[in-house]
Structure 1
Amino acid sequence: MNKNICVITGTRAEYGVLKPLLSEIGKNRNLNLQLVVMGMHLMREFGYSIDEIKKDGFKISAVVNNAYKEDSKSAMVVSLGKEMGALPSIFKKLNPEIVVTIGDRGEMLVAAMVAKVLGISVAHIHGGDVSGNVDDLFRHALTKISDFHFPATKKSKERILGFGEHPKYVWRVGALGLDSILKPGAFENKYGIDFSSRYILVVQHPVVSESGQAKQQAVQTLEAVKETGMKAIVVYPNADAGGRKIIEVIKEYEGVQGFKIFKNLPHDIFLFIMSNAAVMVGNSSSGIIEAASYKVPVVNIGSRQKGRERGSNVINVGHDKKAIKRAINRALFDKGFRKKLANVKNPYGDGRTARKIVKILQRVGKNELKIR
Structure 2
Amino acid sequence: MKKILGITSIRSDYDLMSSLYRLLADSTDIEFKLLVSGAHLSQIYGNSVDLIKNDGFDILLTIESLIDSDSRQSRLKTASLFLQNAIDTVAFYQPDLILLAGDREDVIMGALIGGFLEIPTLHFYGGDHTQDGHIDNPVRHATSKLVSAHMVSHEEHRQRLIRIGESPDRIFTIGSIALDRFVQHSPISKSELRRTLGIQKGFKEFALLIFHPVTEEQDSCHLIFRNILNTLKRKGIHTFVSTPNTDPGNKKILHELENYHQDPMFFFFKNFDRDTFLSIFKNSRFIIGNSSAGILESASIPIPAINIGLRQTGRKVNKNVIFCDTSENSILFSIEKVTSASFSASLTEMHNIYGNGDSAPKAFNIIKSLDFKRFLYKKEDPLQQSPEIFHGG
Q: Shared fold by TM > 0.5?
A: yes
Residues 157-180 of structure 1: per-residue CA shift (max 9 Å, x gap): 111122221212211100111001
The one-letter code matched in structure 1 to 2:167 is H
Structure 2: 5+ residue runs without aligned partners?
380-393
Aligned match for 1:215, one of 210, 222, 232: 222
**Which residue of structure 2 lines up, in the alignment, with residue 170 of structure 1?**
171
CA distance in 1, matches of 2:70, 2:45: 12
User: SS of the residue aligned with 1:171?
Assistant: strand
CA distance in 2, matches of 1:183, 1:191: 23
CA-CA distance at 1:186 after TM superposition:
6.0
Residues 340-362 of structure 1: per-residue CA shift (max 9 Å, x gap): 12243211011111111111112
CA distance in 2, matches of 1:290, 1:180: 10
**Which residue of structure 2 lines up, in the alignment, with residue 246 of structure 1?**
253
The one-letter code matched in structure 1 to 2:347 is L
Residues 251-289 of structure 1: per-residue CA shift (max 9 Å, x gap): 221111231110112344322211110111100000100
The 1:267–1:306 alpha-carbon spacing in structure 2 relative to 1, beyond 3 Å, is: farther
CA distance in 2, matches of 1:55, 1:163: 40
The answer on whether the counterparts of 2:304 and 2:338 sit within 8 Å (CA) in structure 1 is yes
The 1:53–1:350 alpha-carbon spacing in structure 2 relative to 1, beyond 3 Å, is: same
The answer to whether structure 1 residue 284 and structure 2 residue 294 are counterparts is no
The answer to whether structure 1 residue 198 and structure 2 residue 205 are counterparts is yes
The answer on whether the counterparts of 1:274 and 1:296 sit within 8 Å (CA) in structure 2 is no
Residues 40-92 of structure 1: per-residue CA shift (max 9 Å, x gap): 11111111111111112112111111012322221111111111111111202
**TM-score for both structures, normalised by structure 2:** 0.90
The one-letter code matched in structure 1 to 2:208 is L
**Which residue of structure 2 lines up, in the alignment, with residue 140 of structure 1?**
141
The one-letter code matched in structure 2 to 1:157 is R
CA distance in 2, matches of 1:312, 1:25: 34
CA distance in 1, matches of 2:272, 2:371: 35
**TM-score for both structures, normalised by structure 1:** 0.95
The one-letter code matched in structure 2 to 1:340 is S
CA-CA distance at 1:93 after TM superposition:
2.4
**Which residue of structure 2 lines up, in the alignment, with residue 72 of structure 1?**
71
CA distance in 1, matches of 2:344, 2:281: 17
Indicate the percent of aligned positions where both proteins have the same amino acid: 29
CA distance in 2, matches of 1:78, 1:316: 33
User: SS of the residue aligned with 2:227?
Assistant: helix
The 1:286–1:186 alpha-carbon spacing in structure 2 relative to 1, beyond 3 Å, is: closer
CA distance in 1, matches of 2:39, 2:318: 30
CA distance in 2, matches of 1:196, 1:39: 33
Aligned match for 1:354, one of 350, 353, 360: 360
CA-CA distance at 1:222 after TM superposition:
1.3
**Which residue of structure 2 lines up, in the alignment, with residue 152 of structure 1?**
153
Query: CA RMSD for the aligned pairs?
Result: 1.6
The answer to whether structure 1 residue 125 and structure 2 residue 124 are counterparts is yes
The one-letter code matched in structure 2 to 1:104 is D
The one-letter code matched in structure 1 to 2:225 is A
User: SS of the residue aligned with 1:305?
Assistant: coil
The one-letter code matched in structure 1 to 2:124 is I
The answer on whether the counterparts of 2:35 and 2:59 sit within 8 Å (CA) in structure 1 is yes
The one-letter code matched in structure 2 to 1:48 is N
The answer to whether structure 1 residue 29 and structure 2 residue 28 are counterparts is yes
The one-letter code matched in structure 2 to 1:162 is R
User: SS of the residue aligned with 1:130?
Assistant: coil
The one-letter code matched in structure 2 to 1:228 is K
Range that drifts further, 163-172 or 189-198: 189-198
CA distance in 2, matches of 1:54, 1:67: 19
Range that drifts further, 259-268 or 288-297: 259-268
CA-CA distance at 1:193 after TM superposition:
5.3
After the TM superposition, list the runs of 4 or more consecutive aligned residues in structure 1 that deviate by more than 3 angstroms: 185-189, 192-196
The one-letter code matched in structure 2 to 1:158 is Q
CA distance in 1, matches of 2:345, 2:57: 42
CA-CA distance at 1:196 after TM superposition:
7.0
User: SS of the residue aligned with 1:221?
Assistant: helix
**Which residue of structure 2 lines up, in the alignment, with residue 10 of structure 1?**
9
CA distance in 1, matches of 2:247, 2:203: 35
Aligned match for 2:336, one of 323, 329, 343: 329
